[in-house]
Amino acid sequence: MNSNNFEQIPVTEFKKEIGNSDTTLIDIRTPMEWKMYWIIPDTDKYIVFWSPNFEAQISELDKNKKYLIYCFHWNRTLTARNFMQQIWFSWVKDLQWWINAWHVAGENIGKKQD
């Protein structure tokens, strides 16, 4: 397995992957963070990292697709990315400097609808 398929990437690279038909964008933040902070447009899935079903929900995903993940804090994306690598996902990258980097870079942000 190529370790370059499991890494943090900057906003510019992350943005290039969004919208590809074989790439799924996953927000793993908490519901409180969804209300307080922005979302990246075109987010495909919301899976709460702290949910007791987190690992089961991740395990149900197609391991051959590409996944981009982001959250409010890097420890969660690192843990999620490592878990996905351990259970044989082929390609998972997370947003370097989290959702804040997206905002600071001047990229389009929105609010999650309740």
Strands 23-27 and 6-9: unpaired
pLDDT one digit per residue (tens) for the chain, 114 residues: 567 788 888 989 988 988 788 899 999 988 888 877 777 778 899 999 999 999 999 999 999 999 999 988 778 888 999 999 999 999 999 988 777 777 777 776 766 555
pLDDT at position 111 is 63
- CA dist 97 and 61 (Å) reads 25
Domain boundaries, the chain: 3-104
CATH numeric code, 3-104: 3.40.250.10
pLDDT at position 1 is 58
pLDDT at position 22 is 86
Q: Calculate the CA dihedral of residues 18, 29, 65, 103 and round it to 10 degrees.
A: 20
pLDDT at position 60 is 97
- CA dist 102 and 114 (Å) reads 22
pTM of the predicted protein model: 0.85
pLDDT at position 92 is 95
pLDDT at position 102 is 79
